[in-house]
Amino acid sequence: MNVLLLAIAFRAWSGSARSVFLRVMAAIATFSLEIQIATWLHAGNIRSVRLINLAAAAIGVSWHAYRRASLRGVERDVVEAGGSSFPPADPSLASAPVDSASMARVPPLTAVGGLILLITILAAFRPVVGADPYHLHRVDQITGSGTLAYDAGVPDIKVNALAGVYELLLADLRIPGMSAALVRLHGLLGLGFYLLAIAAVAPWAGIRRRWLLLTILVVPVVFHQLVLVKNDLFGAVPAFVALAWVVLRGPAMSLAECAAAAALAGFGVGIKISSAFIALVVAAFLAVEHRGDWKRVATSFAAASAGAIAGGLLFTLIENHLVYGGALQPYLSLGNRHEHVADAAIGFGRFALSLVDLGTVTPRVWPGRRGWGSTFGLPLVWALVVLALRWRDAHARRALLAAGACLFVFGATYPDADVAHRMVIAPGLLLIVVALGCLERDERYAPALRTALIAVIALSALQVGRSAWLYLR
């Protein structure tokens, strides 16, 4: 309820898809900061801040209603005086609907409706289960205390150190006066957030045909995020938009765009510490392409820091120090890192193979490897082929550079990289979306690539359907 109230206060429904996405992110970030402050001050909780956010929503609605009325009055006076009506100087003051040109960059509604129905069926007939138990444990902890306070006695340190904003949102999915939480519908909320990010990015990539975006509905690793409770997709969405922003807009980015992209990258790190290198790649693009403009670089750094703080990074580091005796101690104690160069090389090779083997070769060569979440599947294999054919395209080269750097570091760092593609959803999605945009500009290979994409979508849809059936069984 808190995020909904803040979204109303920020008028999250107005403007383009990008504007809607940023306003929703602002509402989430504000709620996160509220609870962080309430936790540290020992004043207030997730229930009491609802009154503050209710007041904010009422003030926001009243203020914009007053401004619209004033604006219409001025326009009427001008017309009566013999002048002509004029558009408002500040477009945000108008009651503008969502930009249809941007919102058209979503998959066909029939396919979206089918996926919604599938997720709803899975939610109705399956218990609410976390891919890792600590997520739901953290939700229970936040619901009980009403804050983000650590529980020093919890046996699994992941409950404290690796869970925050996402679990806070799940705890907020509660209707006043009703005891039942709406966590069961987390998949539908995650899908909406995912589609909104795609709608914001697709115009930058130059995607015009809506059917091409069917591809993003059948990425296997994304589908599993919509079934089991896990924070990887939620943390990947802002990182994906930030990556796409710097890759597809590049030097053309304005000061405000640089700040927004940096803030999203920082927020992604706050949600998921494994997104740190993605944020470094975003920072590198901004620093190199705007190195002559110190104002943009400084603003981007400040925005990234603010985003990380809103995402809970500072809160987590301080609480880690207070409870575990070191800001990074919980992460170091978990291990899960290659310690030798030879291990890193083998790990990366295994990860590179897993990107294209569709989960069929890697388990046979390394039978001890087990994981959850599937791979990127055929959509990424197809995207890599397209980007290789279109390597002269600036978008293709920049996407391969940015995503390649993220994937290389991930594969060389994590021993379980070959079975944990869910941790690099952001760079994987970047490659797929940029490849779809390149297909729109291709003249030589387009017919063959479109035919291949139809087969990819059909086969991936069958794979998703098989996974859904196995979940039901």
The distance of Cα 73 from the centroid of its chain, to the nearest Å, equals 41
pTM of the model: 0.90
pLDDT tens figures, 72-83: 665 565 555 555
93 secondary structure, DSSP code: G
> Is 390 within 8 Å of 436 (Cβ atoms)?
no
For the cut 90, the answer to whether the pLDDT of residue 259 exceeds it is yes
pLDDT tens figures, 435-451: 999 999 988 889 999 99
- pLDDT at residue number 473: 86
> Is 167 within 8 Å of 59 (Cβ atoms)?
no
pLDDT tens figures, 289-302: 998 889 999 999 99
pLDDT band at residue 225 using 50, 70 and 90 as cut-offs:
very high
pLDDT tens figures, 24-73: 999 999 999 999 999 999 998 999 999 999 999 999 888 888 777 776 66
Q: Which residues contact 333 (CB under 8 A, 6 or more apart)?
A: 157, 324
